[in-house]
Amino acid sequence: MLHKGHGGAGAVFAALALSATASASAVPSATCGALAGGGIIPWRGDAVRIVQARWLAAGPDGTIPAHCEIIGVMHERVGVDGQHYAIRIHLRLPDRWNGRFFFQGGGGSNGELGDALGRLVPGAPSALKQGYAVLSQDSGHDNATNTVPDRGGASAFGFDPQARADYGGTSLPAATGAALATIRRYYGRKPAFSYFVGCSKGGQEGMMLAQRYPALFDGIVAAAPGFALPRAAAAKAWGTQVLADVVRQSGHSVTPVTLANAFSDGDLALLQKAVLGACDGLDGLADGIIADTRACTSARVLPELARVTCSAAKQDTCLASAQVKALVRLHDGPADGRGQVFYAGLPWDAGWGTPGWRAWLLGDRVHGISVGLKMGAPSLGAIFTTPPTAIDTSTGLDASLAFVLNFDIARADAQITAVAPPFVRSSWRDIGAQSTDLSAFRARGGRMIVLHGASDPAFSLADTLNWVKAVDARMPGGSQGVLRTFAVPGMNHCAGGPATDEIPAFAALVDWVEHHRAPRRIIARAGAASPWPGRERPLCVWPAAAIYDGHGNPEKSASFHCRLRTES
């Protein structure tokens, strides 16, 4: 579904690193004040109103360079729901500009302006520090003013058709146009290269730009892309129903707390042990990483799960049969009313059951607060289905849980593709971004890197890979001239899990765009929160996987080579 992140923009971009770029050119600070006095900056029939332009000196620690910070507003209006809407942009223009533009993608239900710093891998300079002009935006609604507790809280904007469309993608060219016009006004020239980087909802935005607005960006990093958000949200509702069955079969009523306790932490440890026992050694090394993800099939995993399944009553040392059945259903994915898979299931991987996985699917065992209930359910009701459904979030998660438990997956596609006054477009049309036609993006010389964690509990890696295969089939010669995809073993949603999740993807993208060196592999490192801080692994262009050479330091990437994945 949607990624908010637990560390703001820093969490969204934690897996994406930046390379140094060309020398910078300085702009006097007086120019910033002159920009503020300009009031309105027009371009091609549109305009942005500058509401703030202030000069900020370099920070004492050197992490923030001297720059002009700008807040702008455009498309101010009153929606059909009586709420006041606008697209707000946050733009930072460094004193020493490298001649390039960086659009920082959003997250979750958006509605937040973003810090426009372009934070990257921990310890690496931000995009702003590197000299990029950096943009973030709220996608056309403001959580501070547009939140309505009895209409889904921060998802209430979904009751307005234009706000829904802006969230889906129509805010992207508007915000980009405003930023580029302001950059031209400030520096006297346009950027030499323009980049977009985002994860989760930001990944959806990257897909939307490549598919519907292909002329705007030279390079895009789309990580954990929520490019099938309406379907993924419906699938997560179905997944909650699957887990609710576990609760019922254990003799308890379904509440947010009992749902979170459908699996204890000990149960999840048994799950991880079974999956690793089945698949850890397939890449030549039993190291806690299942590099050959596609080889980790149910045929391998189910016998291991059978070994830890209780033969009688549930014990701490085994999984109940109802729990195992639920896990298999989550892997297989939901079927619609015709028996067709509605949304791809979750691949077996070492990150199943980790805290990041639990947070989305099960929630906190004490309070029962899961991302799926707190954010996913109101978004499914208000944003992703038509007509929208009002979920009262003012009294906790009970209304969200009731909505999810009664959601009919057999009718989901009809609700996602429906139109009804005042909505003249479906949520799928506004928000879905799964077109396989990248020909226009390729024709303008665009390049895109897609990253996706194999243990992502929000959006399925399998769904992303199905799309990549369809793009390959459509494009003569395949997609790798314009698209490189990297599956990240063990990684949860955007970051976390037993994974090498510090990934210099943006550095690889810049090298590809500006120096025509397409990445064959990206060297990733495990962060401090992983089981093996500092571990290196090559991430291989899908469908290849990192295979141990059989000798050399297993903590270093030089001991691995990329090999085509095993088909299953």
**Cα 67 versus chain centre, distance:** 29
Q: What is the CA radius of gyration of the chain?
A: 23
Query: Taking a C-beta distance cutoff of 8 angstroms, is the pair 103, 176 a contact?
Result: yes
- List beta partners, residue 93: 68
What's the 3-state SS for 123-168?
CCCCCCCCCCEEEEECCCCCHHHHCEHHHCECCHHHHCHHHHHHHH
Q: Which residues contact 491 (CB under 8 A, 6 or more apart)?
A: 15, 351, 453, 454, 455, 456, 497, 499, 501
Q: What b/e sequence results for 319-348 when a residue is b if at least 16 CB atoms lie within 10 Å of its CB, and e otherwise?
A: bbebbbbbbbbbbebbebeeeeebbbbbbb
The one catalytic residue in 456, 479, 557, 559 is 456
Whether 456 is a known active-site residue: answer: yes
DSSP 8-state assignment for residue 24: P
Whether 493 is a known active-site residue: answer: yes
Query: Taking a C-beta distance cutoff of 8 angstroms, is the pair 262, 246 a contact?
Result: yes
Residue 119: in which H helix or E strand, if any? none
Largest CA distance in the chain: 77
How many alpha carbons lie under 13 Å from residue 262 in its C-beta half-sphere? 31
Q: Hey, is 236 helix, strand or coil?
A: helix
Phi and psi for 94 in degrees, rounded to 5?
A: -70, 150
Residue 307: in which H helix or E strand, if any? helix 298-307
The one catalytic residue in 200, 379, 426, 460 is 200
Phi-psi map region of 188: left, alpha, beta (phi>0 left; psi -120 to 50 alpha): left
The one catalytic residue in 126, 493, 501, 557 is 493
CA-nearest of 254, 112, 104, 276 to 179 is: 104
* Rounded Cα–Cα distance for residues 63 and 384 (Å): 39
Query: Taking a C-beta distance cutoff of 8 angstroms, is the pair 227, 344 a contact?
Result: no
The catalytic site residues sit at: 200, 456, 493
